[in-house]
């Protein structure tokens, strides 16, 4: 960097959108400007922006008023993996995947940034770790409603998603009671069932199904019928999209051909609801919350957490403590190696205290 020029950092948001991203962008930008007189570059649409060299300057006024705003002012992409990027082959519709990491490295070098802050989930941080190994100074910030990033106790966006899912379950209760139905509420959670577990308990769900515990349909039916014998003529089932029966497979909604991670889950509640209806003779209804869980204003908890994470990210930059993710450990913020984050998702342990507590108050997990 030339002497006399401002130090410059860049911010990137990748993967699915999530309440609280803008609060992180705001915290990083304001602190970097006020405390360290830095210049901030916002990369547009995740790693897509580093492939196409699309970015914008972020000043103090650009991030004022975005604390409560959902989504991300920078845009994002779930498909832009520079190491396996989909391109059209010839004039046809046939796709092929190419390694465009060299393009990204060239564009990063041209930006003359001191550090790239990557706000994302396990996929984004996995890509970030690969670029760090190639010499890019990177700091990660854990973002996902699924709460499944290794190395942190919680991710911002999770509390907001749980609030939305819990409110949905609360509202489902009245119609379930009125019509004496089995009501299934499907929430996000591909490999980890944190949202289903927390919202299921908070909403008073009778059955909670998560990817970590494969279920037996017969046991769910037995549980529901036993409830009816005791005068409870309805049942609420909170089910994560990645749940599956013992020996069975997940329900795939569609395949996204131009994505390096093409499988999109969804619909387990309809498949299971139909099965439970046939087996029990009871009426079932299913509700899929889908992207409702990602949208809207972040909760106060997520706004505070996002602000803390953004502030800590700037501290790590000043320490030149690169190749790390800001991590929540109890009440404290620490750093955690991106290399370890990239080893896989954080699943719910079989002996997790909340599962134990739920079982002790009569919740069925289908096992």
Catalytic positions, please?
146
- Best CA proximity match to 283, nearest among 233, 222, 245: 233
CA angle 208, 288, 149 (to 5 degrees): 65
* Number of neighbouring beta carbons within 10 Å of residue 353: 8
**Ramachandran quadrant class, 252 (left: phi over 0; alpha: psi -120 to 50; beta: rest):** beta
Rounded Cα distance between 116 and 193, Å, is: 31
Q: In the chain, which residue ranges form alpha helices assigned H by DSSP?
A: 21-36, 47-52, 101-111, 122-133, 158-179, 194-202, 217-229, 268-280, 300-318, 338-341, 353-360
Which residues are CB-neighbours of 165 under 8 A, at least 6 positions away?
A: 185, 187, 195, 196, 199, 203, 238, 289, 293
How would you list the strands of the sheet with 39-43, edge to edge? 55-58, 39-43, 8-13, 115-120, 138-142, 324-329, 332-337
DSSP 236-266: EEEEETT--BTT--PPEEEE-TTSSS-EEE-
Instruction: Decide the pairing of beta strands 182-187 and 284-288.
Output: parallel
Q: Indicate the SS3 state at residue 163.
A: helix
Q: Residues 28, 34, 37, 39: is their CA dihedral positive or negative?
A: positive
Rounded CA-CA distance 118/96 in Å is: 26
CA distances from 214 to 16, 122, 139, 242 (A): 26, 23, 36, 10
Q: What Å distances lie between residue 166 and 117, 201, 236, 276, 365, CA to CA?
A: 32, 9, 12, 23, 18
Structure tokens at 312: 């800590």
To 10 degrees, what angle do helices 194-202 and 158-179 make?
50
């Amino acid at each position: 960097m030339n002497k006399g020029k401002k130090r410059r950092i860049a911010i990137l948001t990748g993967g699915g959108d999530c309440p609280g991203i803008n609060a992180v962008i705001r915290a990083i930008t304001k602190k970097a400007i006020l405390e360290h007189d830095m210049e901030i570059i916002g990369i547009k649409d995740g790693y897509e922006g580093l492939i196409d060299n699309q970015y914008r300057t972020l000043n103090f006024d650009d991030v004022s008023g975005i604390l409560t705003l959902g989504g991300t002012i920078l845009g994002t992409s779930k498909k832009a993996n520079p190491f396996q990027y989909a391109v059209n082959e010839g004039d046809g519709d046939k796709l092929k995947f190419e390694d465009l990491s060299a393009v990204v490295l060239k564009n990063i070098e041209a930006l003359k940034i001191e550090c790239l802050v990557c706000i994302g989930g396990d996929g984004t941080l996995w890509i970030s770790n690969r670029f760090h190994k190639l010499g890019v100074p990177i700091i990660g910030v854990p973002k996902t409603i699924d709460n499944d990033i290794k190395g942190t106790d919680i991710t911002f966006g999770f509390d907001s998603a749980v609030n939305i899912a819990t409110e949905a379950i609360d509202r489902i209760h009245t119609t379930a009671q009125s019509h004496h139905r089995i009501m299934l509420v499907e929430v996000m959670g591909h490999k980890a069932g944190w949202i289903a577990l927390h919202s299921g308990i908070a909403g008073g769900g009778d059955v909670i199904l998560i990817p970590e515990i494969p279920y037996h349909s017969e046991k769910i039916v037995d549980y529901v019928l036993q409830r009816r014998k005791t005068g409870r003529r309805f049942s609420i089932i909170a089910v994560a999209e990645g749940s599956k029966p013992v020996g069975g497979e997940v329900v795939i909604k569609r395949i996204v051909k131009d994505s390096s991670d093409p499988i999109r889950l969804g619909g387990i509640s309809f498949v299971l609801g139909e099965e439970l209806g046939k087996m029990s003779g009871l009426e079932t209804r299913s509700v899929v919350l889908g992207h409702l869980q990602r949208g809207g204003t972040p909760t106060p908890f997520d706004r505070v957490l996002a602000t803390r994470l953004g502030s800590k990210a700037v501290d790590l930059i000043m320490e030149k403590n690169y190749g790390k993710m800001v991590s929540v450990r109890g009440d404290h913020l620490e750093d955690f190696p991106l290399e370890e984050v990239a080893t896989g998702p954080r699943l719910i342990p079989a002996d997790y205290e909340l599962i134990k507590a739920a079982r002790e108050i009569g919740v069925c997990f289908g096992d």
